[in-house]
């Protein structure tokens, strides 16, 4: 069980994550039938989602709040306990060309990870096959691979230490759609074959339902909405979630699209930040901001049994 | 915990069909080198001339017309002969063949350059990588120490040190190295600081790879490109500095052939017997220039941003 | 509106790398006609030749062998001398790249940049100021942004600025190379909407290159699907999306992630 409790992270004087709490089950048996067991963190650049991932991985220290794994604060672990944590929670970062050492062959990268296991573990060939790659690629350098192949290597490296939980930070957004679909297939399959749980971090809502059943929507470092994925995505309560959902590129012909050339007059894009310093941070972009939104910051409160939202005027659940 | 791969079901996922770049064909390396050479003519010419200089230095005992003149031999009857058929570069005040002396001088200069740069890189780069990767107090301490060295003009520092030491090739190497390594420490520190935030370093940290290994296997190899360029750019500078030390009488001593020393000894004769100064002087200039051109060429060839910065 | 005139016509385009026997075909496009005020999308994965095709339209194919004809107005980009191409780029044909921020000179304020670009095409003084202002308003950017440096603006703003440059120069043809794939989804939607509006209002011939059919589906009139350098399918957007003829097009359509509505 990985939990973040009231997590706050600041870089210098700038606080980028404000009191975020979330929890993830890791390896408590297979998820219930039909459930994915995954949790998604959704937000755009600047929402603090990557910082949360880094705090969960122990790469940045929170300025307050805690990250606990198996009831231990991961930022205060002793050496052996830290090694244990490292082998149970692994990241998959966005860009395979960045996440792999350009001077190492694929095989060397994987062997480096395998060496950290206490037991013998699988071979490099087996790892590559597990992610659907030809073992001959072990001799290649990252720049000799395609984007999809690189991302598979990154996943293989994470699997090398036999983790329970993968933290996926935009795992497919640097890839072509077709490649993206195949990498998602792979992740779906590994969930059962390798017994993995996922924390998925993305700005694209469309990839969420395949891997996750719980979502947290982040805006400006705060959770603005959370709940079961299907409910939140089909009937968003927070206007920001609705905006994210509506922005997903959908298939449709120009003639069918009523938006064409009759788009509402967008507001002049202001040069200042799109987040408000007082009141609700989203109010500058909100289509239905009230007077109350300028003065009082909404807090996360229950909407239904499973859902929470931080908004003064949420859309009611359908 | 489920074991990962050996027990996995046979791999079902569709093979990744997105086309990988075709691996370079056989002979591709040679062709790429040739293409590179064609694109940067000055650097290529510099490299060729340097190769000739190195060969001349290494093969001096066999190539030089009067190998004995490289050290002790003197020819009292043949002093200050002008350039001509027997002595292409002429002879010096004690009758030694200047072509031979210049070739032997190349040995001294190149040895000093190689030794200084090796010492500087071996000391500076690891310190810089440690500072840059570790950050915090360690970085502050290491960088303040280098700042102390950098506060003095490198030449002055070398001159002061050489004065204290017994003049000779060895002391010249030590004297110059002391002023030189901090540059490498600083450069490696900056590069390592950048690499520290790269994704593959984060990934290694998350896997639990040890600090030392991260520095040795991930940071250092990726920090070497700028070092390589700097080594080439600096070689000329070291040769100039060593010539300056010898010129001041603080470097190698007679009868060792050294370009700076030769210039110093010949300067009084410049008006009447110009060749005594001109050829060693030109040798210094040419070598330093070629290293510089080569360095610039390497810099632009290895710089990943060159397309953008233009 | 005036009857649509062809702003860009491509005939028998072939782009090859290498010479003689070794030559590798990077992209081939038998025919393409982009009328003023319409949008043509070229869709394919990396390595499909879509970007190469786009670069050929700008005459930016150093070291590659290009054959065929690419007519912009009455200039053939394939045979035109470099000097003519320099005038063409910007004044008639503008490129909006994936990450405009990296192609903006980091040491120049946006205003200076805009002024220089306009001046290079002979637009100076009050006219230039007026054009710059109008263009910024057109792309919904606050003119205050002109005082900033490229690193002080967001990716979406940089993309809008790149489009504003094209508008200020009155480009007939705008070539957009994955203009939104580096952007957040909400910003992406807004930039696409903007391109679509300018196409209609200014009669711009828009060529949009993307790997994602969903991204282009709403604004393209005509879709060209490319794979391994060849055109797999080409036709009106409604046909390609509604009744795809090629298996590969169906594969691309299936790959589009949806919320499962």
**B interface test, pick of C17, C18, C47, C101 with most B CB neighbours within 10 Å:** C47
pLDDT average, residue stretch B277-292? 90
Residues of chain C in contact with residue B304, where contact means CB-CB under 8 angstroms, are: none
Nearest CA in chain C to B308: C103
Evaluate whether B103 touches B287 at the Cβ level (below 8 Å): no
pLDDT average, residue stretch A37-56? 89
Is residue A208's pLDDT more than 70? yes
Residues of chain C in contact with residue A146, where contact means CB-CB under 8 angstroms, are: 46-47
Looking at the domain assignment, is residue A50 inside a domain? yes
The per-residue pLDDT for B32 is 66
The per-residue pLDDT for A253 is 59
Closest CA to A171 of A150, A196, A191: A150
pLDDT grade for B12, boundaries at 50, 70 and 90: very low
The per-residue pLDDT for A187 is 92
pLDDT grade for B158, boundaries at 50, 70 and 90: confident
Is residue B19's pLDDT more than 70? no
CA distance B31 to chain C (A): 12
The two three-digit tokens of residue B40, written as one number: 């940067």
pLDDT over 90 for what percent of chain B? 31
Q: For residues A37 and C209, what is the distance between their CA atoms, to the nearest angstrom?
A: 37
The per-residue pLDDT for A29 is 47
Is residue A189's pLDDT more than 80? yes
Is residue B8's pLDDT more than 80? no
Is residue B264's pLDDT more than 50? yes
Number of domains in chain A: 1
Q: How far apart are the first and last CA of chain A?
A: 32
pLDDT average, residue stretch A23-49? 73
Domain limits for position A201: 2-219
Is residue B291's pLDDT more than 60? yes
Strand C222-227 relative to strand C39-43: parallel, antiparallel, unpaired? Answer: parallel
Among A204, A249, A271, the residue with its CB nearest the CB of C144 is A271
- In chain A, what's the furthest Cα-to-Cα distance? 63
Residues of chain A in contact with residue B196, where contact means CB-CB under 8 angstroms, are: none
Which residues have C-beta within 8 Å of that of residue A307, sequence separation ≥ 6?
A225, A226, A227, A228, A231, A232, A237, A317
Q: For residues A106 and A83, what is the distance between their CA atoms, to the nearest angstrom?
A: 23
Residues of chain A in contact with residue B12, where contact means CB-CB under 8 angstroms, are: 132, 189
The per-residue pLDDT for B169 is 87
pLDDT grade for C260, boundaries at 50, 70 and 90: low
Which has the minimum average pLDDT: A16-30, B141-155, B215-229, C107-121? A16-30
Is residue C94's pLDDT more than 70? yes
pLDDT average, residue stretch B82-94? 82
- Whichever domain contains A196, its CATH number is 3.40.50.300
CA atoms within 13 A on the CB side of B246: 32
The CATH class of C6-255 is alpha beta
Q: Please judge whether C157 and A269 are an interchain contact, meaning their C-beta atoms are less than 8 angstroms apart.
A: yes
Looking at the domain assignment, is residue A318 inside a domain? no
Q: Please judge whether C47 and B19 are an interchain contact, meaning their C-beta atoms are less than 8 angstroms apart.
A: yes
Nearest CA in chain C to A251: C214
H/E element holding B222?
A: helix B220-247
Mean pLDDT, chain B, integer = 82
Which has the minimum average pLDDT: A173-182, B295-304, C133-142? B295-304
Is residue C49's pLDDT more than 50? yes
Looking at the domain assignment, is residue A39 inside a domain? yes
How many other CB atoms sit within 10 Å of the CB of residue B32? Answer: 11
Closest CA to B112 of B13, B17, B236: B236
Residues of chain B in contact with residue A90, where contact means CB-CB under 8 angstroms, are: 206-207
The per-residue pLDDT for B307 is 38
Is residue B68's pLDDT more than 80? no
pLDDT over 90 for what percent of chain A? 44
pLDDT average, residue stretch A197-202? 92
The per-residue pLDDT for A284 is 85
The per-residue pLDDT for B86 is 81
Q: Please judge whether B18 and C45 are an interchain contact, meaning their C-beta atoms are less than 8 angstroms apart.
A: yes
Among A203, A253, A270, the residue with its CB nearest the CB of C237 is A253
Residues of chain B in contact with residue C102, where contact means CB-CB under 8 angstroms, are: 308
Among A83, A99, A129, the residue with its CB nearest the CB of B200 is A99
The two three-digit tokens of residue C185, written as one number: 């989804």
The per-residue pLDDT for A34 is 56
Q: Which residue ranges make up each domain of chain C?
A: 6-255
Beta-bridge partners for A219: A222
Q: Please judge whether C193 and A45 are an interchain contact, meaning their C-beta atoms are less than 8 angstroms apart.
A: no
pLDDT average, residue stretch B290-294? 89
Q: Please indicate whether residue A106 or residue B88 has the higher confidence score (pLDDT).
A: A106
Residues of chain C in contact with residue B308, where contact means CB-CB under 8 angstroms, are: 102-103
Q: For residues B209 and A157, what is the distance between their CA atoms, to the nearest angstrom?
A: 13
pLDDT over 70 for what percent of chain B? 86
pTM here is 0.82
The per-residue pLDDT for A248 is 84
Instruction: Judge residue C141's burial from the number of C-beta atoms within 10 Å of its C-beta, 0-12 exposed, 13-18 middle, 19 or more buried.
Output: buried
Nearest CA in chain B to C104: B308
Among B18, B19, B308, the residue with its CB nearest the CB of C102 is B308
Strand C173-177 relative to strand C93-96: parallel, antiparallel, unpaired? Answer: parallel
Is residue B305's pLDDT more than 60? no
Which residues have C-beta within 8 Å of that of residue C90, sequence separation ≥ 6?
C117, C120, C121, C165, C169, C171
pLDDT average, residue stretch A112-133? 91
Q: Which residue ranges make up each domain of chain B?
A: 40-70+85-309
- Angle of helix B98-134 relative to helix B136-151, nearest 10 degrees? 150
The per-residue pLDDT for B232 is 86
pLDDT average, residue stretch B47-57? 90
Q: What's the pLDDT tens digit per position in A274-290?
A: 678 888 988 888 888 88
Looking at the domain assignment, is residue A69 inside a domain? yes
pLDDT grade for A269, boundaries at 50, 70 and 90: low
- Angle of helix B136-151 relative to helix B169-196, nearest 10 degrees? 140
Beta-bridge partners for A91: A167
Query: Which residue blocks in C46-81 are alpha helix, DSSP H?
Result: 50-58
pLDDT average, residue stretch A25-38? 59
The per-residue pLDDT for A254 is 55
Q: Please indicate whether residue A94 or residue A108 has the higher confidence score (pLDDT).
A: A108
**A interface test, pick of B1, B24, B136, B207 with most A CB neighbours within 10 Å:** B207
The per-residue pLDDT for C7 is 86
The per-residue pLDDT for C221 is 93
Is residue B165 classed as helix, strand or coil in its secondary structure?
coil
CA distance B226 to chain A (A): 15
Which has the minimum average pLDDT: A26-35, A231-240, A260-269? A260-269
Is residue A219's pLDDT more than 80? yes
Is residue A44's pLDDT more than 50? yes
pLDDT average, residue stretch C73-94? 86
What fold characterizes domain B40-70+85-309? Answer: MetI-like fold (1.10.3720)
pLDDT grade for B96, boundaries at 50, 70 and 90: confident
Q: Please judge whether C186 and A44 are an interchain contact, meaning their C-beta atoms are less than 8 angstroms apart.
A: yes
Is residue B21's pLDDT more than 70? no
ipTM summary value: 0.85
Query: Which residue blocks in A72-123 are alpha helix, DSSP H?
Result: 79-88, 96-99, 106-114
Among B205, B221, B222, the residue with its CB nearest the CB of A59 is B205
Looking at the domain assignment, is residue A158 inside a domain? yes
pLDDT grade for B192, boundaries at 50, 70 and 90: very high
pLDDT grade for A263, boundaries at 50, 70 and 90: very low
Place of tokens 């799109």: A274
**Quick check: A31 contacting B, CB < 8 Å?**
no
Which residues have C-beta within 8 Å of that of residue A106, sequence separation ≥ 6?
A100, A128, A137, A138, A139, A140, A141, A142, A145, A153
């Amino acid at each position: 069980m990985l939990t973040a409790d009231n997590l706050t992270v600041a870089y210098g004087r700038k606080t980028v994550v404000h009191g975020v709490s979330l929890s993830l089950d890791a390896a408590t048996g297979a998820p219930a039938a039909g459930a994915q067991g995954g949790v998604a963190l959704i937000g755009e650049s600047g929402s603090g989602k990557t910082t949360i991932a880094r705090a969960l991985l122990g790469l940045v220290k929170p300025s307050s709040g805690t990250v606990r794994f198996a009831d231990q604060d991961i930022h205060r672990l002793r050496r052996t306990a830290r090694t244990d944590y490292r082998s149970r929670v692994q990241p998959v970062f966005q860009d395979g060309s960045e996440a792999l050492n350009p001077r190492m062959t694929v095989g060397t990268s994987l062997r480096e990870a395998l060496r950290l296991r206490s037991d013998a573990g699988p071979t490099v060939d087996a790892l590559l096959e597990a992610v659907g790659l030809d073992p001959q690629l072990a001799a290649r350098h990252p720049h000799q691979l395609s984007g999809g192949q690189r991302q598979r290597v990154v996943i293989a490296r994470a699997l090398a230490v036999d983790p329970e939980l993968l933290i996926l930070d935009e795992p497919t957004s640097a890839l072509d759609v077709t490649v993206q679909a195949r990498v998602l297939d792979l992740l779906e399959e590994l969930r059962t074959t390798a017994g993995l749980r996922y924390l998925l971090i993305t700005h694209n809502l469309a990839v969420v339902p395949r891997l996750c059943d719980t979502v947290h929507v982040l805006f400006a470092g705060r959770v603005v909405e959370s709940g079961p994925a299907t409910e939140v995505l089909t009937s968003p309560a927070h206007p920001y979630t609705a905006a994210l959902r509506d922005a997903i590129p959908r298939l449709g012909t120009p003639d069918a699209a009523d938006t064409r050339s009759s788009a509402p007059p967008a507001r002049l894009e202001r040069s200042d930040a799109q987040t408000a310093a007082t009141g609700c941070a989203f109010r500058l972009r909100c289509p239905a901001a009230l007077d109350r939104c300028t003065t009082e910051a909404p807090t996360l409160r229950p909407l239904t049994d499973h859902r929470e939202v931080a908004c003064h005027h949420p859309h009611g659940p359908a | 915990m489920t074991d990962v791969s050996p027990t996995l079901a046979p791999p079902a996922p569709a093979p990744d069909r997105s086309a990988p770049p075709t691996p370079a064909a056989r002979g591709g390396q040679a062709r790429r080198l040739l293409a590179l050479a064609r694109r940067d003519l000055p650097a290529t010419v510099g490299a060729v001339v340097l190769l000739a200089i190195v060969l001349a230095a290494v093969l001096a005992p066999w190539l030089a017309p009067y190998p004995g003149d490289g050290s002790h031999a003197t020819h009292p009857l043949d002093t200050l002969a002008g350039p001509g058929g027997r002595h292409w570069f002429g002879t010096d005040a004690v009758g030694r063949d200047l072509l031979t002396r210049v070739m032997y001088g190349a040995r001294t200069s190149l040895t000093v350059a190689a030794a200084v740069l090796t010492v500087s890189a071996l000391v500076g780069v690891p310190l810089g990588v440690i500072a840059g990767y570790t950050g915090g107090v360690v970085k502050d301490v290491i960088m303040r120490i280098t700042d102390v060295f950098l506060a003095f003009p490198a030449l002055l520092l070398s001159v002061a040190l050489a004065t204290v030491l017994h003049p000779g090739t060895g002391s010249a190497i030590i004297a110059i190295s002391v002023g030189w390594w901090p540059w490498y420490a600083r450069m490696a520190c900056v590069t390592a600081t950048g690499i520290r935030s790269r994704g593959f370093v984060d990934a290694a940290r998350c896997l639990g790879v040890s600090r030392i290994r991260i520095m040795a296997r991930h940071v250092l190899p990726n920090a070497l490109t700028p070092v390589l360029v700097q080594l080439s750019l600096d070689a000329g500078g070291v040769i100039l500095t060593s010539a300056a030390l010898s010129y001041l009488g603080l470097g190698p001593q007679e009868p060792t052939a050294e370009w700076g020393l030769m210039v110093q000894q010949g300067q009084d004769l410049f008006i009447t017997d110009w060749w005594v100064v001109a050829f060693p002087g030109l040798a210094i200039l040419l070598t330093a220039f070629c290293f510089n051109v080569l360095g610039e060429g390497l810099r632009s060839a290895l710089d990943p941003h060159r397309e953008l910065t233009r | 509106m005036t009857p649509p005139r062809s702003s860009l016509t491509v005939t028998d385009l072939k782009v090859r790398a290498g010479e003689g026997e070794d030559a590798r075909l990077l992209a081939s496009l038998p025919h393409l006609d982009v009328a003023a005020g319409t949008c043509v999308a070229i869709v394919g994965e990396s390595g499909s030749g879509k970007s190469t095709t786009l670069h050929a339209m700008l005459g930016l194919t150093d070291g590659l062998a290009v054959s065929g004809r690419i007519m912009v107005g009455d200039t053939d980009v394939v045979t035109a001398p470099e000097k003519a191409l320099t005038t063409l780029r910007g004044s008639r044909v503008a490129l909006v790249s994936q990450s405009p921020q990296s192609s903006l000179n980091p040491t120049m304020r946006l205003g200076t940049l805009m002024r220089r670009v306009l001046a290079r095409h002979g637009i100076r003084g009050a006219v230039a100021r007026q054009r710059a202002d109008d263009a910024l308003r057109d792309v919904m950017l606050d003119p205050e942004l002109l005082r900033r440096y490229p690193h002080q603006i967001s990716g979406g703003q940089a993309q809008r600025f790149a489009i504003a440059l094209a508008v200020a120069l009155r480009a007939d043809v705008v070539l957009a190379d994955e203009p939104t794939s580096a952007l957040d989804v909400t910003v992406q939607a807004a930039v696409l909407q903007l391109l679509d509006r300018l196409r209609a209002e200014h009669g711009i011939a828009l060529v949009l290159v993307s790997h994602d059919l969903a991204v282009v589906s709403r604004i393209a009139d005509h879709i060209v699907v490319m794979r391994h350098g060849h055109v797999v399918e080409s036709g009106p957007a409604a046909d390609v999306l509604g009744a795809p003829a090629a298996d590969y097009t169906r594969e691309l359509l299936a790959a589009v992630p949806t919320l499962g509505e």
